[in-house]
Amino acid sequence: MLRALRNLLRLLTIVRTLARYGALGPLRAAVEGAGVAPTMLVAGRLLTTRRARRWSGDKWPEDKRPGERIAAAFGELGPAFIKLGQMLSTRSDLLGEAVAADLSTLQDRLPPFDPAVARATIEAELGALIDELFTGFDDRPVSAASIAQVHYATIAREDGETEEVAVKVLRPGIEQAFARDLDLLMWLAELVERTQPKLRRLRPVEVVRTFAETVRIEMDLRLEAAAAAELAQNFAGDPTYRVPAVDWRRTARRVMTQQRLTGIPMDDRAALVAAGFDIEAVLTRAAAIFFKQVFRDGYFHGDQHPGNMFVGPDGNIGAVDFGIMGRLDRKTRYYLADMLLGFLERDYRRVAQVHFDAGYVPPTQSLDHFAQAIRSIGEPIFGRPLNEISFARMLGHLFRIAEAFEMEAQPQLLLLQKNMLMAEGVSRQLDPSLNIWTLAQPLIERWMRENRGPEARILEAVEDALRAAGRLPDLLAAAERAAVAVADTGVKPHPTALRARDREIRRAVLPLWVAVGLLAALILLAL
């Protein structure tokens, strides 16, 4: 009861703020379009009337776009809603492309907090005075976001030289502020799942959980440091991508210290040209890095906007801010590869089958109808110049069409699509005549051959068969124990249990024969 009352009071504050910016109307339209019951929109309807707008003091003129209004309101509502807006920018299937695009520009910037508080936090977390930890510490923050702000400092190295570092410090009280709004969002998500069966496929509770997990990682800077270390390990020996090294001695839950990166912002074409960089070479390098993260490693930087990426003096690319990371398992990477191949070959039935095989679309849906819907995405772009094709938008169209076929939301793919949009935006800003994905085409083609060609598919099937067959020794041991028990006690197992055991043994033995056949086929292909 107390939780419901607390969340209702917070909800009234949120509704009034949205009304002041004239943002309730656009949100209401999106929610109604998703099929939410009218009873959940009473407050929205009341507060979007002319009288209510006068009462709430609508701040923005009528000519502002809906997405701009929502972004401005979220910015005023504080850190949790800034992050929520950035997450919703990936959900063009819910809000439409225009609103999602406006939300993607929502800047994660807040006024800096007192540097004395930052110093006190650092000293409390690291158990030492600032002067003992750093040879120099700049009280002027270089950036201030919703969760943390960053200061530059210098440290003494073991060789006696000094090194420039960046020190990230959490905002005071940020954990409590997020906990309040996350509880509200979960309460609303649970309410939607209980009362709106049609919306369960959107998995609102799962979306909020994913959001909460992302926030949890961002508010424990040790986890962000670990993410940076993992990404750096994936690119060990590859000078084209630089991840700043973590100073673990000066890192704790609320403080993280890393090497300081310098360079030109990724989207500053004029500065890159003035510095003598070849724009196509920079974009080729960026495309290869993105491809390696997504397909080779299945672990990618989840917030690759231009403010987080720099071109260093040597032309290599550096990245910062590792609070949001995405993971794609092997099955999902293969799904993406097979879907891309299907589109390139105009084999829309294959694209549809990939979705069914992955379990994204329920088997109760029509494969033929889904293939026809996919054709409506592929045919309009076929034959167009590659620089005019946005693969990220194509993926977004696919998600929206799949809604009619009860395809469940895939948070990891939505984050990937958001980053693809960012990459395409930077590419077109630097050189509109280029398509960033075609620059990585040789890598893509080689990866396809190695992972989705006939030999790779046979090896994958062999691995699956051997994994299944690996259960055989345990099953035979269980059968032997059962036989001994029968001999000792005279009590026979129930016939149903015996049949189930026999079926399990047959399922384990069969893959051995399948593996032998597939290995023979692989040898023949190699001859």
Q: Catalytic residue numbers?
A: 303
Q: To which H or E segment does residue 151 belong?
A: strand 148-156
- Burial bucket for residue 308 (CB in 10 Å: 0-12, 13-18, 19+): middle
- For the chain, how far is it from start to end, CA to CA, in angstroms? 72
Task: Report helix, strand or coil for 165.
Answer: strand
Question: Are 318 and 310 within 8 A, CB to CB?
Answer: yes
Distance in angstroms (rounded) separating the CA atoms of residues 407 and 11:
30
Distance in angstroms (rounded) separating the CA atoms of residues 406 and 411:
15
Which amino acid, 52?
A
Summarize the chain as % helix, strand, coil (round to 5): 65, 10, 25
Closest CA to 420 of 293, 271, 316: 293
Closest CA to 260 of 246, 244, 248: 244
Residue-wise burial string across 41-75, b where 16 or more C-beta atoms lie within 10 A, e elsewhere: bebbeebbeeebbeebebeeeeebebbbbbbbbbb
What residues have CB less than 8 Å from 186, skipping those under 6 apart? 205, 208, 209, 212
Q: To which H or E segment does residue 306 belong?
A: none
**CA R_g for the chain:** 27
**What value, to the nearest 5°, has the Cα angle with vertex 302 and ends 28 and 119?**
100
Q: Which residues pair with 258 in a beta bridge?
A: 166, 246
What residues have CB less than 8 Å from 147, skipping those under 6 apart? 79, 83, 170, 171, 174, 215, 218, 219, 323
